Amino acid sequence: MAQSRKIFQEQLISFMQQKGFIWGPEPEIYGGLAGFYTYAPLGKRLKNNVENKIRDVFRKNDIWEVECPTIMQKEVWKASGHLEGFTDPLIECSKCKGSFRADKLIEEKHDVVADAFSDKKLLDFIEDKKIKCPTCGSPFNKEIKKHNLMMKTTIGTGIEAYNRPETATTTYLPFIRYVDYFRKKIPFGVFQIGKAYRNEISPRQHVLRMREFTQAEGQIFLFPEQKKEWQKYEKIKDNTLPLWPYQMQEAEKDPKDTKIEDALKKGHFKNKAYAWSINLAYTLFTEMGIPKENIRLRQHTLNERAFYADDAWDLEIKTNSFGWVECCGIHDRTDYDLKQHAKASGKTLEALDENNKKIVPNIIEIAFGTDRPVFALLDIDYRKEEDRTILKLPKDMAPINVAVFPLVKKEGLDTIAQEITDSLTENSNLVAVYDGSGSVGRRYARMDEKGTPICITVDFDTLKDNTVTLRDRDSQKQVRIKIKDIDRTVKEMLFEGKK
């Protein structure tokens, strides 16, 4: 199992490199630095499509985008708890002195979630299972060291500062401005899509674990009493989610499709606002085109929860390369952050509730990044069928919408193909490319690999009756349509069934 995963992983990563999705580790010509990657033209377009889906879903839920600085001074990170508590457990090889994350060493070899293990449990597990240094095969020192993940920098001549390890904290700081902007109406929601930095010790999972990565985190500010009376809940309570509550994780191997209302009654969710936030997270990922059968929602066990979290669920995606991968965390952060920053800044971070009582709002966050869903889409949709390699991306997410070919480059077929490409690009506002080299079969194959859903071929019949051949990537079915119907037909095929 692990072996077949590894083979798939290598194939996929080399595919991403060769076809122009993701390059790295970068900078390649200097030997590459682990944890840094370049999104090549097709990968960047896919990532933009993912991010625009996120913007779309948040917009429909009245959650507003902001952009905050990525570097902030030490005081901020001291108050947030990151300077003290944002660490990874490291273990050192007794011989080559290589350092590794103890929890990841365990997870790579055994099917357990180890990031909540105590230092002692990590050491015992490594000893019990005789886990050795992956570099030289020697045993490890019997000591766990704490490695802080914050990337330090200096502002001006002497202000100690850090690259943000998450967008969340920076999103919370303009709280007073938000209250003003939203005309003192609580609840309100904001989100940020932007870079964050973590000084991972030995990142080895491609873009799943980077030192510089893109986060997209939504933050709902609300009063504690609003959690129980969350009006938007009514609209989603009949939805079904693949839930795996922590009490079930011992007994049941798989999540169970559960109606949200039933989950709330059973006490899996503490309140309506939290249930609504979990549903929103699920919607984000299904809208991006992650298949439902590849998604599960796993509740954190009690000792797995972050130091500030009141309840926590993860959305996980099943990949061929790495198995189940955590892709989103939904946390009730309570009033922890605002209280911490009020104390450290000396400012009052409160709002008036309907009884004119001053209260520190709570925050529910939907924390995720955009690199992991991009990887997941490529991983899940990369297929080798009998005679072709095909990237079966959701049609509305593909980096290139349409490719246009002339059957041969003579008798004006190439001019017509070029005109159709230009019209699709300029008038239809789609990503269309022209390809005139090689056999048509070869050109179809190139487009299948890039995930392009539709190919249009201009041939000699076009000269007679103004029709072209339109070929569907998945079914490989071809139909003839009029040139004047291309725009409408293509858009239907790309976006049909989408709201």
In angstroms, what is the minimal distance from the CB of 92 to Zn ion? 9
Distance of closest approach, residue 202 Cβ to Zn ion, in angstroms: 12
Cα separation, 62 vs 58, whole angstroms: 6
Q: Torsions phi, psi of 446, nearest 5?
A: -60, -40
The nearer residue to Zn ion, 105 or 280, going by C-beta atoms, is 105
Rounded least distance, CB 108 to Zn ion, Å = 15
The structure tokens listed for 375 are 């990887």
Please report how close the Cβ of residue 97 comes to Zn ion at its closest, in angstroms.
7
CB of 211 to Zn ion, least distance (A): 22
Coil, helix or strand for 252?
Answer: coil
**Smaller CB separation from Zn ion, 134 or 436:** 134
Toward Zn ion, which CB reaches closer, 98 or 291? Answer: 98
Identity of the residue, 81 or 98, whose beta carbon is nearer to Zn ion in the bound complex? 98
- String of contacts with Zn ion for each residue 78-117, x by CB under 5 A: ---------------x-xx-x-------------------
Q: Among 132-140, 196-204, 256-264, 292-300, which window interacts with Zn ion (CB under 5 A)?
A: 132-140
137 to 156: interface string for Zn ion, x by CB under 5 A: -x------------------
Question: Rounded to the nearest whole angstrom, what is the least distance from the CB of residue 404 to Zn ion in the complex?
Answer: 55
Which among 133-141, 205-213, 337-345, 423-431 is the span making contact with Zn ion, rule CB under 5 A?
133-141
Which residue, 130 or 498, is less far from Zn ion as judged by CB? Answer: 130
Q: How far is the CB of 95 from Zn ion (least distance, A)?
A: 5
Which window, 51-59, 106-114, 127-135, 312-320, contacts Zn ion (CB under 5 A)?
A: 127-135
Q: Is 135 in the site for Zn ion (CB under 5 A)?
A: yes
Minimum CB separation of residue 406 from Zn ion in Å reads 59
User: What torsion, rounded to 10 degrees, do the Cα atoms 412, 417, 419, 424 define?
Assistant: 170
The owner of tokens 């390699």 is 389
Residue whose CB is less far from Zn ion, 17 or 99? 99
Residue 67 makes CB contacts below 8 A (sequence gap 6+) with 192, 194
Phi-psi map region of 210: left, alpha, beta (phi>0 left; psi -120 to 50 alpha): beta
Cβ density class 469-485: b for 16+ within 10 Å, e for less: bbbebeeeeeeebebee
Cα distances (angstroms) measured from residue 241 to each of 267, 276, 285: 15, 11, 12
Among the residue ranges 128-136, 440-448, 467-475, 486-494, the one whose residues contact Zn ion (CB under 5 A): 128-136
Q: CB of 260 within 8 A of CB of 275?
A: yes
Q: How far is the CB of 2 from Zn ion (least distance, A)?
A: 21
Instruction: List C-alpha distances in Å: 175 to 172, 182, 359.
Output: 6, 11, 13
Q: How far is the CB of 133 from Zn ion (least distance, A)?
A: 3
For residue 325, the SS3 value is strand
- Which residue, 135 or 345, is less far from Zn ion as judged by CB? 135
Distance (Å, whole) CA 156 – CA 424: 49
Measured from the CB atom, is 97 or 228 closer to Zn ion? 97
Residue 345 carries which side chain, given as an amino acid letter?
S
Q: Which stretch binds Zn ion (CB under 5 A): 126-134, 299-307, 335-343, 344-352?
A: 126-134
CB of residue 105 to Zn ion, shortest distance in Å:
12
**Per-position x/- string for 239-258, each x denoting binding to Zn ion as judged by CB under 5 A, each - no binding:** --------------------
Which range, of 8-16, 44-52, 136-144, 479-487, touches Zn ion by CB under 5 A?
136-144
Q: Is 167 helix (H, G, I), strand (E, B) or coil?
A: coil
Q: Name the residue nearer to Zn ion (CB basis): 126 or 398.
A: 126
Compare residues 138 and 148 and give the one whose CB is closer to Zn ion: 138
SS3 385: strand
| Least CB distance to Zn ion at residue 141 (A) | 10
Q: Is 385 exposed, middle or buried (0-12, 13-18, 19+ CB in 10 A)?
A: exposed
Q: How many residues bind Zn ion (CB under 5 A)?
A: 8
Residue partners of 237: CB distance under 8 A and separation at least 6: 259, 260, 261, 264, 272, 275
Nearer to Zn ion by Cβ, of 5 and 147: the residue is 147
Cis upstream peptide for 187 (omega within 30°)? yes
CA dihedral 98, 305, 362, 69 (to 10 degrees): 10
Contact 425, 476 (CB under 8 A): no
DSSP 319: E
Nearest residue (CB) to Zn ion, 94 versus 418: 94
Instruction: Indicate the residue among 100 and 282 with the shorter CB distance to Zn ion.
Output: 100
> Of 16, 79, 102, 133, which lies in the binding site for Zn ion, with binding defined by CB under 5 A?
133
* Closest approach of Zn ion to the CB of residue 93, in Å: 3
In sign, the C-alpha dihedral spanning 265, 269, 274, 280 is: negative
Sign of the CA dihedral 393, 399, 289, 378?
positive
Q: Which residues bind Zn ion (CB under 5 A)?
A: 93, 95-96, 98, 133, 135-136, 138
